[in-house]
Amino acid sequence: MIELSCKELSSSIYDSLKEKTQKFIDKGNRAPGLAVVTVGDDEASRLYVKTKTEKAAYLGYVGFQYFLNGDSREDEVVSLIETLNRDDRVDGILLQLPLPKHLDEKRIIEHISSDKDVDGFTSANMGRMVKGEECFIPCTPKGILTILSHFGVSTSGKRITVVGRSDIVGKPLALLLMGKGYDATVSVANSKTKDLRALTLSSDIVISAVGKPMFLDSSYFSDGTVIIDVGINRISDPTRKRGWRTVGDVDRESLSQRDVSITPVPGGVGLMTVASLMENTFISRERRG
């Protein structure tokens, strides 16, 4: 098993972004601004937001953080987003998901101005992406494309199975991979898919975004398969002080003696998602002039 660690790759993206940002500021330009909106006090979200704001600060971006109470009304969240849409110092608006259950995520996301939608979640961005027009590519799919390119994994003419069809990972990723330039033949599986194993066994690349630990074991993969494990799952682990650890969707132990390549969890797609967010924020800053 070959491990496709993304630590060096993400570090090199940060190094190059930091340099680009410094040069940009040295020319007298305003630094890129990233606003992060958190609603409620979800522990995992808090950690993600901390990582994102730290990375933004490292790169020399200006960070704006907003914490709204978990019982905030939809109009209060929307009002903050609209204020940020009008704020010229802000190039990217990140609404940390998931939102508390009483809020309509999809409806709220639509209020983010598409030119600041660095997550690429609005319908306007998705529509442009489908048509191959200028847009923000959603961060996790973008990170996965970067991983494939970095490790020299060509997608042209390859059979790829994407397991999962969410709006933020599976669906946009499948659309990108089947598009011109990537030219893959893509199957997208969901919870009703029959005989998933037959699909994955006949695929050159398998990308799993399901959210179930140990979901795919060795029996799902043929020799030579490139596996991108998007899943982030917490499982209990009494050997750890905190009592849990993070694993992906793939049962890695079962693959240890197999001829496959796989991204680790942690240290894989998650790192690239944040790096892609920072790339999108810089792109937004440049586009906004």
Q: Binding ligand NDP by CB under 6 A: which of 10, 96, 125, 140?
A: 140
Contacts with ligand NDP: how many residues (CB under 6 A)? 24
Q: Which residues pair with 35 in a beta bridge?
A: 64, 93
User: Any alpha helices (H) in the chain, and if so which ranges?
Assistant: 7-26, 43-59, 74-86, 105-109, 123-131, 139-150, 170-178, 196-201, 269-288
> Out of 169, 174, 175, 277, which residue is the one contacting ligand NDP (CB under 6 A)?
169
Residue 216 binds ligand NDP, judged by CB under 6 A: no
Q: Which of 96, 158, 171, 229 is catalytic?
A: 96
Residue with tokens 């001829």: 259
Task: Choose between 196 and 260: whose C-beta lies nearer to ligand NDP.
Answer: 196
Judged by CB under 6 A, which stretch of 10-18, 59-67, 238-246, 269-277 contacts ligand NDP?
A: 269-277
- 119 vs 204 by CB, closer to ligand NDP: 119
Q: Is 235 within 8 Å of 245 (Cβ atoms)?
A: yes
- The 3-class secondary structure across 44-57, one letter per residue, is HHHHHHHHHHHHHH
Nearer to ligand NDP, 180 or 194 (CB): 194
Residue 119 bears catalytic tag: yes
Name every residue whose Cβ is closer than 8 Å to that of residue 86 and which is 6 or more positions away in sequence. Answer: none
| CB of residue 109 to ligand NDP, shortest distance in Å | 14
| Stretch binding ligand NDP (CB under 6 A), from 15-23, 150-158, 191-199, 220-228 | 191-199
Q: Is 141 in the site for ligand NDP (CB under 6 A)?
A: no
3-class DSSP assignment, residue 92:
strand
Coil, strand or helix: which one is 237? coil
Question: Does residue 101 touch ligand NDP according to CB under 6 A?
Answer: no
**Is-contact 113 87, C-beta < 8 A?**
no
Residue 60 or 213 with smaller CB distance to ligand NDP: 213
Q: Build a one-symbol-per-residue string for 195-214: x at contacts with ligand NDP by CB under 6 A, - elsewhere.
A: -x------------xxx---
One symbol per residue from 218 to 237: x for binding ligand NDP (CB under 6 A), - otherwise; what is it? ------------xxxx----
Q: Which is nearer to ligand NDP, 137 or 169 (CB)?
A: 169
- DSSP at 149: H
Quote the tokens at residue 11. Answer: 């570090």
Task: Please identify which residue in 163, 186, 277, 278 interacts with ligand NDP, judged by CB under 6 A.
Answer: 163
Neighbours of 251 (CB within 10 A): 16
Rank residues 80 and 276 by Cβ distance to ligand NDP and give the closer one. Answer: 276
Annotated catalytic, 96?
Answer: yes
Do the Cβ atoms of 226 and 245 come closer than 8 Å?
A: no
Q: How far is CA 231 from CA 117, 214, 222, 266, 270, in A?
A: 24, 10, 20, 10, 9
The binding site for ligand NDP (CB under 6 A) comprises: 140, 163-166, 168-170, 189-193, 196, 209-211, 230-233, 269-270, 273
Hey, which residues are catalytic here?
Answer: 52, 96, 119
